[in-house]
Amino acid sequence: MTETQSCTPASKKCVSCESLDKSHLLSSEEVQAELTNMKTWKVKDGSKISRFYTARNFQRAMDSIVAIGNIAERENHHPDVHLTGYRNVEIILFTHSLGGISANDIALARMIDAEVEFDYSPKWLKSHPEAKKNDAQSLTIGTT
């Protein structure tokens, strides 16, 4: 895939945002279809996707943020990441240059789910069992 080609949501690599224009924004229906199998990701404010979780402790929250940052740097596609209450993490993805959700955001969400070792708070995980399943499935969903 060259930088001038568009990636699909099933892509395993982000493309340069400079090569994208508004035609690369996903419709709300396309976003919902992609998120069907990505249970920990939700639409936020109509133009972003987000994932919230509570880590076991501060160090585990920071470990996951660093891992997310490494993926973002590798892919040159950067999420907004928020740490509050010392272990509550929210990841917000959207293509900043377009002001909405593109295939890059879906691809990056899948990479985060597949590559980051999340160490959730046991209490949080008990009320969010989909998180454990989501992490293992994310790379295989949507690749057919």
Q: What is the pLDDT of residue 20?
A: 73
Per-residue pLDDT tens for 18-35?
667 788 899 999 999 999
Per-residue pLDDT tens for 42-56?
999 999 999 999 999
Q: Compute the distance between CA of residue 116 and CA of residue 15 in angstroms, rounded to an integer.
A: 21
pTM of the model: 0.83
Lowest mean pLDDT segment, chosen from 18-27, 33-42, 125-134 = 18-27
> Dihedral angle at the C-alpha atoms of 71, 62, 131, 116, nearest 10 degrees?
30
